[in-house]
Amino acid sequence: MKLVKSTAKFWTFTLNERERDFLIAVLRSYPAIPDHHQTLSRESRDWIKPEDEQLLHEALLEQRTSHKAKLGRWLKGRARFKQVEDRWHFSLAKADFDWMLQVLNDVRVGNWIQLGSPDDVHNPIEMLQKDPAAFFHMEAAGMFQMEFLRAVEGTSGTELDEDEIL
């Protein structure tokens, strides 16, 4: 995945077909964090009121529902992915950048949780054997997060040179 154009409002990226398919698969696996995984505190729960926990869960559910609906619209957007020769182009509004990173982070963290929240993520064999799909989604979501961040780092609304693209 590479950034090919940056305007004041949009970034346009190019991907090969496999990257496009991976991105779509990862995004379609949202949400991945279990509903009641997040709590107000990991410390002593003595001072936490049940109604406060309920409020947190309702807020997170509302956010997930909103993100999932937006993601559905985003994926169905007119010509979201446009084929240009043997590559695919897609644009991401700069206003949606944080949202996209949040969606990808949910997929990454949710699948890490599904894999048992391992401390050693640098030894992939055990995780891959435990749940290949969860491992794939976790790794691919992390890769796309890093690629988005790397691609837009230092851009300021300018079009890139064609030599920089390939």
* Among the ranges given (6-15, 48-57, 97-106, 139-148), the one the predictor scored with the smallest mean pLDDT: 48-57
pLDDT grade for 140, boundaries at 50, 70 and 90: very high
CA distance 111 to 132: 10
Compare 46 and 29 and report the one with higher pLDDT: 29
pLDDT digits (tens, 9 = 90+) for 75-114: 998 778 999 999 999 999 999 999 999 999 999 999 999 9
Closest to 81 measured CA to CA, from 93, 90, 70:
90
Averaged pLDDT for residues 28-43: 76
pLDDT value of residue 42: 57
Query: Quick check: 166 pLDDT over 50?
Result: no
Query: Quick check: 157 pLDDT over 60?
Result: no
pTM to 2 decimal places: 0.83
- Strand ordering across the sheet containing 10-15: 2-6, 10-15, 87-93, 82-84
Helix axes 17-28, 132-152, angle to 10 degrees: 110
pLDDT value of residue 46: 60
Closest to 105 measured CA to CA, from 64, 75, 73:
64
